[in-house]
Amino acid sequence: MKNGHSHSNGKAVKNGKNGANGSGGGHDGFVLPTTTGIRTIHTPSVRETFAGKHLLVTGVTGFLGKVWLGMLLDHVEDVRKVTVVIRGKKGEDATARFARIVERNPAFRPLRAKYGLGLRQLVADKIHVVEAKLTAPMCGLSCEEARALTSDVDCVVHFAGLTDFEPEPQQAIDANIHGARHVADLAALTPTKRYVHVSTTFVAGMRQGAIDEKLERGVSPTGIRFDPEAELKELELGLKTGNSKKERLDYAMGRARALGWPNVYTYTKALSEHLLEGRTDVVTTTFRPAIVECARSYPFQGWNEGINTSGPLVWLLSTAFQRFPAKASLCFDIVPVDTVARSMMVVVAAALRDEAESIYQCASGDLNPLFFERATDLCSIALRRLAEKKDEGWFETNVIARLDAQCLDDVDREQILGFRRMREAARATRNFLKDFELSRVLPPVVYEKVDGEKMEEKIRSFSMKCRTTDRKLGTVDEMLRQYRPFIWDHDYRFRTGHLKAASERLSEEERALFGFDVEDICWRQYWLHVQVPGLDTWCLPLLRGEKVPEDEPLALGEAPTEEVPADGVRAKKSAADPADSVEKSEPAMRATA
Ligand SMILES: NC(=O)c1ccc[n+]([C@@H]2O[C@H](COP(=O)([O-])OP(=O)(O)OC[C@H]3O[C@@H](n4cnc5c(N)ncnc54)[C@H](OP(=O)(O)O)[C@@H]3O)[C@@H](O)[C@H]2O)c1
């Protein structure tokens, strides 16, 4: 069912397919029989739809928001204005932060390559940066400020969200529930009340099989009826009694599980959907991506940011531990970030024409499923090739990279992983070696003979390796526990008919730019040439405790003296200065969902 809302007296009212507001665009793209044959009418162009429009967008500092904003500015030159709502961070105000991101983050390479220093002018002409606090009522703006900000906004697009699986629960509530609510309040002030909300397919929670693009308000994944407002109230009240993060997390997880959500992230994202569904003052279009992963081509092949779902899994396979802790038969529902951004272009355009569906899912499993068994095989091959290319050493290239990885299907995963035992061994060895002095146990003559100093150095280095191993295993163990619902417990098949239909209505030219392209993905090519090399560059260093450097900045105030190379990177600086590293270089875990 389409949103089909119309607005009367400032109220958004649902009135059935295509509405009664005369937009009528819903007929476009349908195949019509005519007296002279069959004629396909395409949806008005995405670019035409955006032309002259003013959007208010949150979350453009994140992985997905940046790629989408870059694509918008790159491919839709006639968009009139984009107001980006950002918070200041680490001593930088919103304006300085946004300028730095545009000038240095790899997501904006195509724009930098296209415009050079002219990008500054483009940003000055089109972008309005607003520093605001999403977690405060009306985003911390006064009534006058909010009204002025929204008076000619055509659509509000909300990407922002706290994507950790198990954060401090109140923070997740503030970002994912109150944040969305406050941004929707801004949308309610706009003339058209259009609000596009980015959620996740994994609000499906503890269910199996086909997941439709719909929401039954007040019905949980396990079929329990609940009142979303009352649930939120009780949850927040209960959290006040928790004395530690663990207690608060246990409490929130208890409530989440009782209703059928496996973690705080999916619980808060889902509650937000249920609460928004009850609002009549905005026209909400919900967009649910599955697991967002490396770009196929935009901003460039392999781009990714932060630690995502497949990062730790791929890292595991690159070690001597050759097990993929996922069920072989389960669908690994990943979507390249540029596919997600393209889809969002189509969805926002549909919202701007008042002909959007209520919910769009953006996933690959429906039309082109990849199963964990295949992903594991492809991953092994890709890692082997990488090891050969890098020539990491005889042992890595000839032994580790040649081991054949397997999924842990049908075996007790916890037992086989034995992380705890591996960690204990690493810790015990470290403790034994860290204060070990060879000179104390060897007679001086022997110490001299065996070059004791050199040996002590080796022992120290091995002891450090044990410590690193212990920490890495701890991180991965924790991640796997959190990922379990998505790689072990639930076999989802997210339906994506709405996006496919919208994509089919695009002209051929626009389908090439914005079409829903998951059916074109060759998973072999993707894993070998995109995903694993992309993770190796952008994600695995973070797991190794290293930093990912930002690009060189545009030369401030100077005319461009050199072309930006095709890959957009002039030279990589050392990441010694933390201020120079990509913002998300802290290994914060982004939820898969
Ligand atoms: N990545 C995925 O695999 C995936 C899958 C499905 C759905 N999604 C959804 O897609 C959206 C974007 O995800 P992403 O991958 O781009 O996440 P991300 O890289 O972690 O970025 C999150 C964005 O939200 C903002 N944000 C978070 N908490 C905030 C707060 N309290 N106040 C203001 N801004 C806040 C961040 O701003 P700062 O930079 O200021 O922190 C950032 O711009 C989220 O809604 C997420 O739930 C993501």
Please determine, for residue 101, whether its predicted confidence score (pLDDT) is greater than 90. Answer: yes
Say which range, 118-122, 127-131, 403-407, 432-436, has the weakest mean pLDDT: 403-407
Write down the pTM of the prediction. 0.83
pLDDT at position 409 is 58
The pocket around ligand 1, CB under 6 angstroms, is made up of 59, 61-65, 87, 89, 134-135, 159-163, 174-175, 179, 198, 200, 269, 289, 291-292, 306, 308, 590, 592-593
How many Å lie between the centroid of ligand 1 and the Cα of residue 569? 25
Atom 44 of ligand 1 has which residue's CA nearest to it?
161
Indicate the pLDDT class of residue 403, thresholds 50, 70 and 90. low
With the most atoms of ligand 1 within 8 angstroms of its CB, the residue from 97, 102, 163, 542 to mutate is: 163
Q: Where are the alpha helices (DSSP H) in 105-197?
A: 109-115, 118-126, 143-150, 169-172, 179-189
pLDDT tens digits, one per residue of 127-174: 999 999 999 999 999 999 999 999 999 999 999 999 988 899 999 999
Please list, in sequence order, all residues whose beta carbon lies within 8 angstroms of the beta carbon of residue 522, skipping any fewer than 6 positions away: none
Taking a C-beta distance cutoff of 8 angstroms, is the pair 591, 265 a contact? Answer: yes
- Residues 200-227, mean pLDDT to the nearest whole number: 97
Q: What number does the ligand 1 atom closest to the CA of 201 have?
A: 6
User: What are the φ and ψ backbone dihedral angles of 252, each rounded to 5 degrees?
Assistant: -65, -40
Q: Rounded to an integer, what distance in angstroms lies between the CA atom of residue 143 and that of residue 188?
A: 13
Q: What's the whole-number mean pLDDT along residues 550-569? A: 51
**Whose alpha carbon is nearest atom 3 of ligand 1?**
292
Q: What angle do CA 296, 362, 201 make, to 5 degrees?
A: 125
Q: Which of 93-102, 302-311, 313-322, 487-496 has the highest mean pLDDT?
A: 93-102
Q: Where are the domains of the chain?
A: 10-37+53-305+333-370+492-520
Q: Tokens representing 194? A: 């259009």
Q: Is the pLDDT of residue 447 over 50?
A: yes
**Per-residue pLDDT, 391:** 61
Q: Report residue 203 as tokens.
A: 């609000």
How many angstroms from the chain centroid is the CA of residue 513? Answer: 21
The CATH classification number of 10-37+53-305+333-370+492-520 equals 3.40.50.720
pLDDT at 392: 59
| pLDDT band at residue 176 under the 50/70/90 scheme | very high
Average pLDDT, the chain: 83
Tokens of 581: 């590293």
Q: What per-residue confidence (pLDDT) applies to 592? A: 45
Task: Please tell me the distance between residue 62's alpha carbon and the centre of ligand 1 in angstroms.
Answer: 5
Mean pLDDT of 568-572: 35
> 398 CA distance to ligand 1 centroid (A)?
40
pLDDT of residue 448: 85
C-alpha span between 19 and 475 (Å, rounded): 51
DSSP class of residue 585 equals G
How remote is the C-alpha of 165 from its chain's centroid?
A: 12
Kindly give the distance from the C-alpha atom of residue 250 to the centroid of ligand 1, in angstroms, as a whole number: 23
Over residues 443-451, mean pLDDT: 83
pLDDT at residue number 377: 87
**pLDDT score, position 189:** 98
Q: What is the pLDDT of residues 270-305, one digit of tens each?
A: 999 999 999 999 999 999 999 999 999 999 999 999
Closest residue by CA, ligand 1 atom 18: 62
CA of 135 to the centre of ligand 1 (A): 14
| Residue 413, pLDDT score | 54
pLDDT of residue 562: 40
Rounded CA-CA distance 100/114 in Å is 18
Q: Is the pLDDT of residue 37 over 60?
A: no
- What distance in angstroms lies between residue 17's CA and the mean position of ligand 1's atoms? 31
pLDDT for position 6: 44
> Which of 58, 63, 273 to mutate to test ligand 1, by most ligand atoms within 8 A of the CB atom?
63
> pLDDT band for position 424 (50/70/90)?
confident
